[in-house]
Structure 1
Amino acid sequence: MAEEIIVAGWMDYEPADRDTMLGHLVEVGMRTRAAEPGCLDYAMTADPADERRIRVYERWVSQQALDEHFATAHIKDFRAATTGLTRVGVSMEVFSIGASHSMR
């Protein structure tokens, strides 16, 4: 069984661009969850304490599923739609998860 992958971190955009970017991320997230069975979770949220920051959380069944995600038509569309938005910072990490358990 392949290790699950978690992508987590943040992206900062100019305050005037953040909500526009967030709208595009919501759209690509809906398309990703609907079309990619390897996607277990895909959430992008505005940070309420920072007008620039978008928090990122993705969970994938494998690295291969994540790699295939970047080759989809909806990611190509997303990249084209967000070309003019100004990102001013980013911190993203990919974690390979060998085991997990329910937290109660």
Structure 2
Amino acid sequence: MAEEIIVSGWMDYEPGDRHTMLAALVELGRRTREEEPGCLDYAMTADPTDERRIRVYEHWTSRQALDEHFATPHIKDFRTAVAGLTRVRVSLTAHTVAASHPMR
């Protein structure tokens, strides 16, 4: 069985670009969750205390599923839609999950 992957971190955009980026991410997230069976969760959210920051959380069944995500038509559409936006900084990390258990 492949090990699951979690991508987490943040992306900072110019304050005027963050709203446009978040709108594009809503559509990307919807299509990713609906069309990619290897996607377990996909959430990009506005940080409530920083007008530039978007928090990132992705959960994938495998590294292969994540790699295939970057070749999908909806990723290409997304990249075209946000091509003019200014990303200032980014900090994203892919974590390989060794074990998981439910929290109570």
Give the TM-score of the pair, scaled to structure 2. Answer: 0.99
Amino acid at match of 2:40: L
How many residues align? The count is 104
Unaligned runs of 5+ in 2: none
In the other structure, the counterpart of 1:75 is 75
SS at match of 2:100: coil
Q: Whole-Å Cα distance in 2 between the matches of residues 26 and 41 of structure 1?
A: 13
1:10-41 Cα shifts (integer Å, max 9, x gaps): 00000000010001011100000000000000
Tell me how far apart the structure 2 counterparts of residues 94 and 83 of structure 1 sit (CA, whole Å).
Answer: 24
Q: Does 1:48 align with 2:48?
A: yes
Structure 1: distance between partners of 2:6 and 2:26:
18
Identity, % of aligned pairs? 75
Structure 1's unaligned 5+ residue stretches are none
Amino acid of the residue matched to residue 100 of structure 1? S
1:16 corresponds to: 16
Residue 93 of structure 1: CA displacement? Answer: 0.1
RMSD of aligned residue pairs (Cα, Å): 0.4
Tell me the CA shift for residue 98 of structure 1.
1.5
What amino acid is aligned across from residue 6 of structure 2 in structure 1?
A: I
Moved over 2 A (4+): none
User: Given residue 58 of structure 2, which amino acid in structure 1 is its aligned partner?
Assistant: E
Q: What is the rounded CA distance, in whole Å, between the counterparts of 1:98 and 1:72 in structure 2?
A: 27
Using the size of structure 1 for normalisation, the TM-score is: 0.99
1:87 corresponding residue in structure 2: 87
1:59 corresponds to which residue? 59
